[in-house]
Amino acid sequence: MSKEFEPLIVRKQKSSLQEKSVNIKGTNDFGRTPTQSVMDTKQNNLNPFIIEEIKETPAKKEVSDTFFKATKTAKLSPDVLLRLSTLRPFIEELENEEKSTINDMVRLLVENYTNTRLSNRQREGYNQMYQHLFENSKK
């Protein structure tokens, strides 16, 4: 009896990846910029293509403090969004700005409400509470 073991199943250990080849036909055009086909590159027929320069967008107004930057997703109904977008042309303060955001509109509406609907005592109380909460939130 021999002490060497012999495997029951004998097969060649070769990768199946080496056996298969992949041929790509056509171009790899997935975007708006034109690309060259694989066949053109194999023939060393590399023709450069011109990409138009993108115009620089004007500098956005920078928010100096992260406290005023929108960081949370607002859950607004489509009705409220429609009302705000319909109201936008009628707000004089937002006409001078390039792009008014929902935050700008809500800020103006809150200021308008506190200045017109609240009594002097309520307005002073609101402003004091806001200043106190604002100072504590920055710490």
Checking if the pLDDT of 89 tops 50, the result is yes
Q: Who wins on pLDDT, 69 or 78?
A: 78
Q: Who wins on pLDDT, 1 or 60?
A: 1
Sequence-ordered list of residues with C-beta below 8 angstroms from that of 115, at least 6 positions apart, any chain: 123
Taking CB atoms within 8 Å and a gap of at least 24, the contacts of 122-129 are none
List the end-to-end C-alpha distance of the chain, in Å, as a whole number.
84
The full set of domain ranges for the chain reads: 100-139
Helix ranges restricted to H, the chain? 38-42, 78-87, 102-116, 120-138
Q: Who wins on pLDDT, 57 or 95?
A: 95
Handedness of CA 70, 75, 81, 84 (dihedral sign): negative
Sequence-ordered list of residues with C-beta below 8 angstroms from that of 70, at least 6 positions apart, any chain: 101, 103
Checking if the pLDDT of 55 tops 70, the result is no
Checking if the pLDDT of 57 tops 70, the result is no
Q: What is the pLDDT of residues 2-24, one digit of tens each?
A: 678 887 877 766 666 666 666 66
Output the pLDDT for position 4.
84
Output the pLDDT for position 25.
67
Output the pLDDT for position 63.
44
d(CA 87, CA 80): 10
